[in-house]
């Protein structure tokens, strides 16, 4: 099938770019001497996860228990559920473990840890729990210097093999763009998580796993002493936010959305396309960065960037394409005739990918295999 035969909008994955991204990250982790556990929330696709594992990844990270169920059903059993555990979800997690899934869950409070231990005792099931550490003030986790770290450790250690380690995510790396700043944050992420592990060991508590990671810090770390594994997700596709951060180029972005021009507002300089926010998502992650790409960067049907044109606005099923810089002696209708096809690079690959039930694997001009299914749900 040729790309132009697809119904639009459609999510396209440039397999050569994706493979290059997978191999580059895996080789970097191999060189740094740590295991790599990709975060599959970006793609939620078994075909892509298998490619990551074939390249050398050790297990996966998920963002929902439904993902864990679906990937486990597809044959992947070493899974970290990297969202704080709460009591109502323990039954769902326990069911996976009872089926043979090597599921790891996380806690970042004494309340969560106590609930896990109580459920474990009441139902005669053992959980492996990692303590989430806050290494950059970005989101959740506990301060590696806090007394609560040891309190949680002692609560979890009431049952053998429950305390499995520590983990962190330096999500504030998305706000950076200078290589030096990214290296500093990568070292901060590493050193503070390792420090948390050291404190647990000093208190006589087990801490076999030290798990860190984000795509920018994984690609910026100079050394990873004391770390056992790294997690990263968006690297597999990359996106415009990552390009602004400086860890990829536009030519590395593997995910694009195929769209068709359906009309014009010539007096406004607009071309209307059939990819609105239901296709691109409402994520405007580049808005606070140096280069604001609107709702996405316009490319021709073969994926070549068309400089100066962006998706400047989006309604549910309508996108508005306009020139944002540069000179053109063509009207918008001449430049982009009705029926012509374009591709749009996304701001945030995770959010845009989530809008589609399938991905079409492509080379530059041709769909090269059956559509890849994508997982949904919680």
Q: What gap in Å lies between CA 37 and CA 35, rounded to an integer? A: 7
Q: What is the mean pLDDT of each run of 10 residues along the chain (378 residues)?
A: 94 98 98 98 98 98 98 98 97 98 98 98 97 96 98 97 97 97 98 98 98 98 98 98 98 98 96 98 96 97 96 98 87 96 98 98 90 94
Q: What domains sit in the chain, N to C, each tagged with a CATH number?
A: 3-9+248-373 (2.40.37.20), 15-236 (3.20.20.10)
Name the E strands within 120-219: 128-133, 163-168, 209-212
Work out whether the CA dihedral 165, 33, 101, 83 comes out positive or negative: positive
**SS3 assignment, position 16:** helix
CA–CA separation, 340 and 259 (whole Å): 9
DSSP code string of 224-292 = -TT--EEEE-GGGT--HHHHHHTSS-GGG--EEEEEEEEEEEGGGTEEEES--HHHH-S--GGGGSSS-
pLDDT of residue 251: 97
Output the pLDDT for position 189. Answer: 98
Asked if 363 and 356 touch (Cβ cutoff 8 Å), the reply is no
Residues 59, 37: contact at Cβ < 8 Å?
yes
Nearest Cα neighbor of 103 from 80, 69, 126 is 80
Euclidean distance between CA atoms 366 and 363, whole angstroms? 6
Residue-level pLDDT at 326 = 84
In whole angstroms, what is the distance from residue 201 CA to residue 222 CA? 25
In this prediction the pTM is 0.96
């Amino acid at each position: 099938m040729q790309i132009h035969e697809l119904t639009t909008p459609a999510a396209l994955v440039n397999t050569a770019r994706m493979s290059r991204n997978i191999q580059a990250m895996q080789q970097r982790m191999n060189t740094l001497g740590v295991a790599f556990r990709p975060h599959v929330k970006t793609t939620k696709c078994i075909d892509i996860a298998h490619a990551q594992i074939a390249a050398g990844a050790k297990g996966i990270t998920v963002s929902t228990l439904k993902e864990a169920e679906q990937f486990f059903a597809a044959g992947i059993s070493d899974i970290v559920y990297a969202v704080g555990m709460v009591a109502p979800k323990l039954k769902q997690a326990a069911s996976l473990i009872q089926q043979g899934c090597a599921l790891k869950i996380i806690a970042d409070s004494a309340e969560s840890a106590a609930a896990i231990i109580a459920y474990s005792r009441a139902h005669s099931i053992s959980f492996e729990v990692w303590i989430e550490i806050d290494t950059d003030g970005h989101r959740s986790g506990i301060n590696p210097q806090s007394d609560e770290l040891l309190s949680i450790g002692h609560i979890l250690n009431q049952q053998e093999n429950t305390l499995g380690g520590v983990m962190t995510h330096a999500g504030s790396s998305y706000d950076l763009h200078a290589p030096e700043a990214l290296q500093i944050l990568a070292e901060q992420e590493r050193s503070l998580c390792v420090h948390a592990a050291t404190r647990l060991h000093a208190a006589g508590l087990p801490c076999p796993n030290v798990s860190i990671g984000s795509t920018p810090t994984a690609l910026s770390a100079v050394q990873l002493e004391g770390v056992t594994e790294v997690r990263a997700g968006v690297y597999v596709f990359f996106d415009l936010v990552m390009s602004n951060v400086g860890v990829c180029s536009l030519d590395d972005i593997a995910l694009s959305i195929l769209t068709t021009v359906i009309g014009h507002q010539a007096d406004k300089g607009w071309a209307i396309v059939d990819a609105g926010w239901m296709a691109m998502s409402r994520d405007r992650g580049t808005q606070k960065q140096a280069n604001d790409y609107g709702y996405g960067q316009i490319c021709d049907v073969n994926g070549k960037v068309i400089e100066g044109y962006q998706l400047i606005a989006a309604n549910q099923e309508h996108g508005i394409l306009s020139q944002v810089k540069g000179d053109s002696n063509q009207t918008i209708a001449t430049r982009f005739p009705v029926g012509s096809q374009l591709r749009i690079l996304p701001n945030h690959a995770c959010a845009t990918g989530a809008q589609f039930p399938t991905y079409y694997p492509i080379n530059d001009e041709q769909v090269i295999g059956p559509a890849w299914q994508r997982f949904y749900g919680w």
